[in-house]
């Protein structure tokens, strides 16, 4: 499931982790803070989410440079990065078709 042997696999793996961290942040940590007044999880989950988001954006740009992706594809990946759980939607629609192309390079 998680592979880090090339830029595409790194992007896809980090995208899954980033999406899960956003679900955890918005679905668990923020309700704990704003409904029950417990901000224990905000800082660690927010930090992890921020690091994963930056890595996702970085790998998307690196993929654009390494694989000569169109700016349109890179733009869609950037848009997916700001939508909660967006990489989970973007992965099968935008990145999976490149899996066979990358493996032949």
What's the chain's average pLDDT?
90
**Per-residue pLDDT tens over the stretch 22-56:** 999 999 999 999 999 999 999 999 999 999 999 99
The token duo for 45 is 């989950």
Q: What is the pLDDT of residue 104?
A: 52
Residue 18's CB: how many other CB atoms inside 10 A?
28
Tell me: pLDDT of 60 over 70.
yes
- How far is the CA of 16 from the CAs of 5, 29, 70, in angstroms? 16, 18, 22
What are the structural domain ranges in the chain?
A: 7-103
Distance CA 84, CA 54 (A): 14
């Amino acid at each position: 499931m998680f592979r880090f042997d090339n830029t595409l696999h790194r992007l896809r793996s980090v995208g899954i982790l980033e999406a899960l961290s956003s679900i955890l942040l918005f679905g668990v940590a923020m309700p704990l803070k704003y409904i029950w007044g417990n901000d224990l999880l905000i800082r660690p989950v927010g930090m992890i989410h921020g690091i994963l988001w930056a890595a996702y954006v970085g790998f998307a740009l690196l993929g654009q440079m390494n694989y000569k992706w169109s700016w349109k594809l890179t733009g869609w990946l950037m848009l997916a990065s700001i939508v909660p759980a967006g990489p989970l939607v973007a992965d099968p629609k935008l990145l999976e078709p490149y899996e066979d192309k990358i493996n032949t390079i």
